[in-house]
Amino acid sequence: MKIAFHRILSAIALMVLLPFGMASAQSADPFEYGWNLDGDASELRFLSIKKSKVAETSSFATLSGLITEDGQSQVRVLLDSVDTKVDLRNVRMRFLFFETFRFPEAVITTQLSPELLTDLHMTRRKEIELPYTFTLRGVTLERTTDVAVTLIDNDRVVVSSITPIAFTLEELDLEEGRRKLEEAANVDITPLGVVSFNFVFDRAQAGTPPDLPEATFTPAAVALEDKGNMTEEACLGRFEILSKTGNIFFASGSTRLDDKSLPLLENLYD
């Protein structure tokens, strides 16, 4: 009976102390081993407005990123993976708006401060002000936004926007793309984009620092659009869109293609 009683006490003590043991096992170093982005679980969305009152939300299907052991963070967005939920609209966004054959990706970089997150393993969630740079079409903007950092467990963390982030299309060199979209879709588009995000990271393994994987595909291979045999309408729609790109060039007074045409033609081939 005495032995059984001690066993019961030991079991109760273990049950009580287990949660505290788990918490204390989590490192006070928020970047220990570094982190890799879970692209399938992460989201980057943007809202656009047409006809002055119709709001449409789109996203990107292919994201990659990391946080290094010293807090340097980068997220890369493959623009060919733009997802508007409409086939021909995706094609318009790729070729007319983003011109992904010239600018295949957008890049977000920031430096996370360890001092702001050393108690994350205790608080589980923190809201911080985060300076970042955003690069698109060769244009780099420096901004600051408020984000929530949430520790799901010791090996999974979520970084998400608290409030949407607004960009004018002019500051991102997207005004010409907007005009091409308006002509192709025959609608008025507000020259403003609103972005929000939810980035999910998994802790890297000890001895295996995080790294951006080498792309094993050409950007066009991830495009969300009809593939294989297409309807006549889908095929004609593509030719109409491509005719508006304005990116096929010939040498002056010649039928010889200029090398500036190659990015678009290679993307079409892919």
- In sequence order, the β-bridge partners of residue 75 are 65, 108
Q: What would the mean pLDDT of 138-163 be, rounded to a whole number?
A: 96
Give the Cα separation of 166 and 146 in Å (integer): 13
pLDDT given at position 19: 40
Question: Does 223 reside within a domain?
Answer: yes
Spatial distance between the Cα atoms of 74 and 200, rounded to a whole number of angstroms: 13
Mean pLDDT of 32-57: 95
In a domain, 222, yes or no: yes
Residue 32 placed within a domain: yes
pLDDT at 108 exceeding the cut of 90: yes
CA dist., res. 140 & res. 192, Å (int): 17
Structural domain contains residue 263:
no
Is the pLDDT at 28 greater than 70, yes or no? Answer: no
State how many domains the chain has.
1
Q: What single string gives the DSSP state of each residue in 62-97? A: -EEEEE-TTSEEEEEEEGGGEE-SSHHHHHHIIIII
Asked whether the predicted pLDDT for residue 205 surpasses 80, the reply is yes
SS (H, E, C) 196-241: EEEEEEEECCCCCCCCCCCCCCCHHHHCCCCCCCCCHHHHHHHHHH
Length of the chain: 270
What is residue 92's predicted lDDT score, i.e. its pLDDT? 96
Q: Taking 80 as the threshold, does the pLDDT of residue 229 lie above it?
A: yes
Range of the domain at 93: 25-228
What pLDDT does residue 214 have? 66
CB-CB contact of 107 with 75 (8 Å): yes
Mean pLDDT of 39-61: 96
260/245 Cα distance (integer angstroms): 13
- pLDDT for 147 beyond 90: yes
Q: Has residue 146 got a pLDDT over 50?
A: yes
Which range is least confidently modeled, 61-70, 150-159, 217-226?
217-226
Residues 6+ apart with CB under 8 A from 101: 95, 247, 263, 264, 266, 267, 268
Stretch 234-248: mean pLDDT: 91
Judge contact between 178 and 169, C-beta under 8 A: yes
Compute the Cα dihedral for 31, 37, 43, 49 and give only its sign: positive
What predicted TM-score, i.e. pTM, was given to this entire model? Answer: 0.85
**Residue 55 resides in a domain:** yes
What is the domain-level CATH number for residue 211? 2.40.128.110
- Counting residues of the chain whose pLDDT is more than 90, the rounded percentage is 69
154-204 pLDDT, tens digit each? 899 999 999 999 999 999 999 999 999 999 999 999 999 999 999 999 999
**Cross-strand partners of 142:** 133
CA atoms within 13 A on the CB side of 93: 24
Residue 121, pLDDT > 50, answer yes
**Does residue 246 lie in a domain region?**
no
Letter for the amino acid at 109? T
Position 227 scores a pLDDT of: 81
pLDDT band at 215 (very low <50, low <70, confident <90, very high): low
Query: In this structure, is residue 53 part of a structural domain?
Result: yes
| Residue 135 maps to a domain | yes
Residue 119 scores a pLDDT above 80: yes
